[in-house]
Structure 1
Amino acid sequence: MMADEFALQFEDTPSGRDAIQRLEGPIHAERRIRIVVVGAGASGLLMAYKLQKDFTNISLTIYEKNLSVTGTWYENRYPGCACDEISINVFVCTNAVPAHNYTWSFEPKLDWSSVYAPAKEIYDYFNGFAQKYNLYQYIHLQHQVIGAYWNNDKGEYDITIKDTANNLVITDHCNILINAGGVLNHWRLPDIPGLDKYKGILLHTANWDETVQLEGKRVGLIGNGSSGIQVLPAIRDKCSKVTTFIRNPTWVSPTHGLEQRLFSKEEKFAFANTPGALLEYRATVENGLNTLFSIFLRNHELQEETRAYIRGQMREKLGDAYLESKLTPDFSFGCRRMTPGIDYLESLTKPNVEVVFGKINSLTELGCLCDDDKEYPIDVLICATGFDTNFRPRFPIVSHVGENLQDKWATDPQSYLGVAAAGFPNYLTILGPNSPVGNGPVLYGIEAQVDWICKLIDHYQTTNMKMFVPKDEAVQDFIQYKDYFMNRTVWTDSCHSWYKNRDNGRVTALWPGSTLHYAECMENVRLNDFEVTYAGNRFAWLGNGFSQTELDATADWAYYIRDQDDSPPLSTAGQRKLRSKSGTVNGRKVSRFSRVD
């Protein structure tokens, strides 16, 4: 083929012209690409940090709907709000991930005030992370993405954004769109008739009005999920009376081993000044967090032992046979999101706390009319009723064939490993369907996703790739495996849980395995699971025959000459052993689980 015939393979488009230019440069030339991230919560901030740290020749913009960064930790400011991830170490149950482990693995914080930090400190951590690494330069606050539409001619997304501060609609574009908006970001009031008739003060935990005074008030609390269980102990002493309305039983974890307490000055000094002290503490706790997963396996001895233990703890703390019978579930521990319980069970027995089990039929001007035909007068009604946890995107995302992801994921969202969607090119998501959000340490799961996305972006940037999209067959194979595995777990029990699309439906929120399992899965990008379109000849990235090393005057051009073979392992097993420091820890009990029919 003659040179001019070779050049005819390349389209007369921006990506095609870029591919032609590659022929004049070295192998793996890093072309200029534009990335848009939706959301500046923890995930979006980590994405910005990694791109800034490891990439050049990238244009990055993050659109955030709120007045500040950090997402849920900015939005949730209700009394008692704190990290509510659960750690369970055999019979050592803690209410939440200890603060020193609710950080990025590489970015410790030395001065947490207590074992379980309040929401304000967690907000300060992630906001401080953004400030420390100058991430605000990429962020547009009060900018809400309202649409993303694939442009076939340009090979990129056209994006529509509402500037809510100025009531303007603007446009943007990007080669790669990353949705880091999360799933717990769209709070909802309960679907109860008469909300508009109620004359008292109506609050939602994720839309808290800090000017509202609860002192001396009759307060109603709807919900006994994580938020409701944190709110009750925090407000009960302020109120003349609290009436808490509970529809569903739930397992409430006691706190043993790592109880809530303030860190002493001596502990803080040691964490800040004694080499290795904080690292050892964090590693010990993280090892404990990673013993969690076996509890979720049906018929596993750890599930049975833990369930019996927590049932006994709930009985002891309640000391009331009626409350115990109503609050203790029949389903397995962990079927619903495991619920922290610092002083919650004890609060239910206090003289000024009234517990009403059942359904609220409607709201009246005065309060709640329940299915026991009683009306409960309420001055302030707090709805701890959670979020719209449907993975359906909050804005239209339209593919190259005109399909809207909102429609495709309306009832049964199906992702590629939690990070992509079949049929939607150059679109990536953090904490998408079937991500490790309840399987172990969630922040490390996010790190695994962000690292995987960066590896894919690197491949896109250093080749003349135009479009990548997961194959539908790959997604269906993953969903088939996921559904098969979930039948082994307690998550498929009949319980009301946002993990599933209905009480007895598919598990759509969780990864089919532990967080460490997910991290190993995401070590490498499987491009054979993708349909990849190139601008012209797929080997244009080979360039002009020169390596990048030969163009770097500061590099050692004989870097491969060594005294011994110190190269990293080439096998998956060898890489895992090196990464996990295999052989450095004394033997421990290993949980094994065989197939269950």
Structure 2
Amino acid sequence: MSNPLYTNRPIRVIIIGAGASGLLMAYKLQRNFDDVEFQLYEKNPDVGGTWYENRYPGCACDIPSHTYVWSFDPNPTWSSTYASSTEIFEYFKRFQTRFNLGEKTKVAHQVVGAKWDEQQGKWHVEVRDLVNDQTLNDTCDVLVNAGGVLNAWRWPAIPGLKEYRGKLVHSAAWDEGLDLTDKHVGLIGNGSSGIQILPAILPQVSKLTTFIREPTWVALSGIAGFQPRKFDFEERERFENDPKALQAFRHWLEHNVNSMYPLFFGGSETQKQVHEQFIQAMKDAIGNPTLEKKIIPEWDVGCRRSGNHRPKLLALTPGVGYLEALGHEKTTVVYGEISEITEQGCRMEDGQEHSVDVLVCATGFDTTFKPRFPLVGSHGRTLAEDWKDEPRSYLGVAAPGYPNYYMFLGPNSPIGNGPVLIGIEAQADYICRHITRIQQQGIKSMEVTEEAVDDFIAFKDQYMKDMVWNQDCRSWYKGNTADGKIIALWPGSTLHYIDTLEQVRYEDFKVGYFGNRFGYLGNGMTKLESAGDADLGRYIRPHDDAPIIGSKFTYVKAGPELSPIQQIVG
């Protein structure tokens, strides 16, 4: 009772994963809190997550580079519309260095288990030191899983894979010493990784056989009308020296991208227009009526994310050179199901065998959303058990039965609804609001209720019925089914998600306290009053400049700065 109102309780946070989300969470904790200790554990030898792991030929951002930055941390030096994976890794590495997050990061340390201790109100976390082959034990008040959903690559579930005698490689575990010169290469998959790999390796190989199971939409002109191209020296120099020009360009791009959300409403005018444009553009690029029938989908644009490499801007894959490469004299397109992998290559359902020297599997990741380690909650079960039939989260950040546990890009997050990194920022800020309350109000545990999750899932399922994602296309959005529930996407736009997370619905959580729930009221004074030179009349002001706290609607009208790109970059 001797402390003033809202006195900080020292707490500890463990962050699992030092990719984009984990680094951002560490930055937010460092920026927003006193008396919060945190530790990042990263299984790889360096930070960067998917951008450390994925280095296959042609690997690049599949959204415009200037949207793949934090809202507060632009990068004026991107080399092109779709920056390489190396450039993106360097962006996040610089972020870690600039904000001194390295001293709070332990690389080559993999979290292998976590269990909630109800009595202590803490998580007991088991960590494997991969370099020294030792197991460490750590504890924390709040556990944040920033491991990502697309971080466990998988071989295709095709019989005979181990029988293949040639060189076998996965796109997410690329052998950078692999020489494809004059090799006959087989490529399984036409998702975003496969679409990038094919034109990148075509000049080196003697032949390329690409195995395609399903059609896919390929964006020829880039996202939101932004053409794939290199930024010339003058543009990059202007962005570096004129922050207003860079801000205007980024603002224009984000505005354009967010304006495209109506594309995902089935039967909308936007969908009809885009559908016609895509068909014509793809036909022009393919130039082969037989191939057109196999490559161009019948379902609406956006129904399926083109591959499952990483969260996208608008679920559309910019295929720079891909469709043209399909018609190249070196390329053979084999359409249909592979029945088995043989010692020489792939045998199709019709019995025909295709022999190759190197077999590249661009077949994606385990997208079940289950943690890659046993996570034992307050009820004694693991999250993998709870999610064995359906991953069910609360707003993509929490799960019932797991107090003080938060996740990034959990089920039904905005990973294909618009700009993805701003959605991650919204999640980080949301988690920080929870941590503030846990730290300052004597809270032992905060856990979302089963009823709140049930209601959210029911709303989401109803909303999704009219969306293009619900059409008859196989997608990891629906657990790699054609007719299952949409488990990956948020029921709304990215802007809709940001606004939803602005306010915490504490009524959806059950809260446990250390002692009396009002114990945080302390000695009847505020921290401000405890500071000798503080302004104790700070609420006096000449006019009402307070933010609107009710339902009154205000908005900022789009101004002339959102003019065509040519007028912005000069």
Q: TM-score, normalised by structure 2?
A: 0.95
CA-to-aligned-CA distance 1:330-383 (integer Å, 9 cap, x gap): 211111012221111100000000000011111222111112322111111100
Q: SS of the counterpart of 1:522?
A: helix
**Alpha-carbon separation, structure 2, partners of 1:554 and 1:229:** 63
Pick aligned residue for 2:123 from 157, 168, 181: 157
**Alpha-carbon separation, structure 2, partners of 1:551 and 1:278:** 44
C-alpha contact (below 8 Å) 1:292/1:439 kept by paired residues: no
C-alpha contact (below 8 Å) 1:227/1:384 kept by paired residues: yes
**Alpha-carbon separation, structure 1, partners of 2:450 and 2:243:** 50
Residue of structure 2 equivalent to 1:400: 378
Q: Alpha carbons of 1:584 and 1:285: their partners in 2 closer, same or farther (altered >3 Å)?
A: closer
Letter in 2 for 1:41: G
**Alpha-carbon separation, structure 1, partners of 2:361 and 2:243:** 46
1:318 equivalenced with 2:297 (yes/no): no
CA-to-aligned-CA distance 1:76-130 (integer Å, 9 cap, x gap): 000111112xxxxxxxxxxxx2212210000011211112111100000011100
1:368 equivalenced with 2:346 (yes/no): yes
1:25 equivalenced with 2:6 (yes/no): no
Q: CA deviation at 1:571?
A: 1.9
**Alpha-carbon separation, structure 1, partners of 2:548 and 2:128:** 49
C-alpha contact (below 8 Å) 1:31/1:57 kept by paired residues: yes
Matches within 5 A, 1:83-482: 83-84=61-62, 97-255=63-221, 257-337=225-305, 338-482=316-460
Q: SS of the counterpart of 1:276?
A: helix
**Alpha-carbon separation, structure 2, partners of 1:493 and 1:427:** 34
**Alpha-carbon separation, structure 1, partners of 2:213 and 2:346:** 14
Pick aligned residue for 2:38 from 32, 40, 60: 60
Letter in 2 for 1:369: R
CA-to-aligned-CA distance 1:418-440 (integer Å, 9 cap, x gap): 00001111111110000000000
C-alpha contact (below 8 Å) 2:411/2:488 kept by paired residues: yes
CA-to-aligned-CA distance 1:541-573 (integer Å, 9 cap, x gap): 100011111112342111111111111111244
Q: CA deviation at 1:140?
A: 0.9
**Alpha-carbon separation, structure 2, partners of 1:452 and 1:478:** 17
Q: CA deviation at 1:487?
A: 0.4
**Alpha-carbon separation, structure 2, partners of 1:56 and 1:587:** 39
Residue of structure 1 equivalent to 2:470: 492
C-alpha contact (below 8 Å) 2:252/2:561 kept by paired residues: no
CA-to-aligned-CA distance 1:16-40 (integer Å, 9 cap, x gap): xxxxxxx110000011001111110
Residue of structure 2 equivalent to 1:90: none
Residue of structure 2 equivalent to 1:544: 523
Q: CA deviation at 1:586?
A: 6.4
Letter in 2 for 1:508: I
1:509 equivalenced with 2:488 (yes/no): yes
Residue of structure 2 equivalent to 1:20: none
Compare 323-332 and 215-224 and name the one that shifted more: 323-332
Q: CA deviation at 1:261?
A: 2.0
Residue of structure 2 equivalent to 1:3: none
CA-to-aligned-CA distance 1:377-435 (integer Å, 9 cap, x gap): 11111000000000111111111221211100122011010000011111111100000
Q: SS of the counterpart of 1:323?
A: helix
Letter in 2 for 1:53: R
Q: Alpha carbons of 1:554 and 1:277: their partners in 2 closer, same or farther (altered >3 Å)?
A: farther
Letter in 1 for 2:219: S
**Alpha-carbon separation, structure 1, partners of 2:187 and 2:302:** 23
Residue of structure 2 equivalent to 1:88: none
**Alpha-carbon separation, structure 2, partners of 1:293 and 1:587:** 21
CA-to-aligned-CA distance 1:294-340 (integer Å, 9 cap, x gap): 11111111111111110111111111011001111121111101222
**Alpha-carbon separation, structure 2, partners of 1:292 and 1:63:** 37
Number of positions where the alignment pairs a residue of Structure 1 with one of Structure 2: 549
**Alpha-carbon separation, structure 2, partners of 1:399 and 1:522:** 24
C-alpha contact (below 8 Å) 1:296/1:491 kept by paired residues: yes
**Alpha-carbon separation, structure 2, partners of 1:244 and 1:411:** 33
Structure 2 unaligned segments of length 5 or more: list them.
306-315, 563-570
**Alpha-carbon separation, structure 2, partners of 1:369 and 1:122:** 38
**Alpha-carbon separation, structure 2, partners of 1:542 and 1:242:** 70
Q: SS of the counterpart of 1:342?
A: coil
C-alpha contact (below 8 Å) 2:46/2:52 kept by paired residues: yes
Residue of structure 2 equivalent to 1:566: 545
Letter in 2 for 1:184: L
Letter in 1 for 2:508: D
Q: Alpha carbons of 1:275 and 1:47: their partners in 2 closer, same or farther (altered >3 Å)?
A: closer
Residue of structure 1 equivalent to 2:505: 526
Pick aligned residue for 1:82 from 43, 46, 60: 60
C-alpha contact (below 8 Å) 1:38/1:145 kept by paired residues: yes
**Alpha-carbon separation, structure 2, partners of 1:69 and 1:345:** 34
Q: CA deviation at 1:540?
A: 0.5
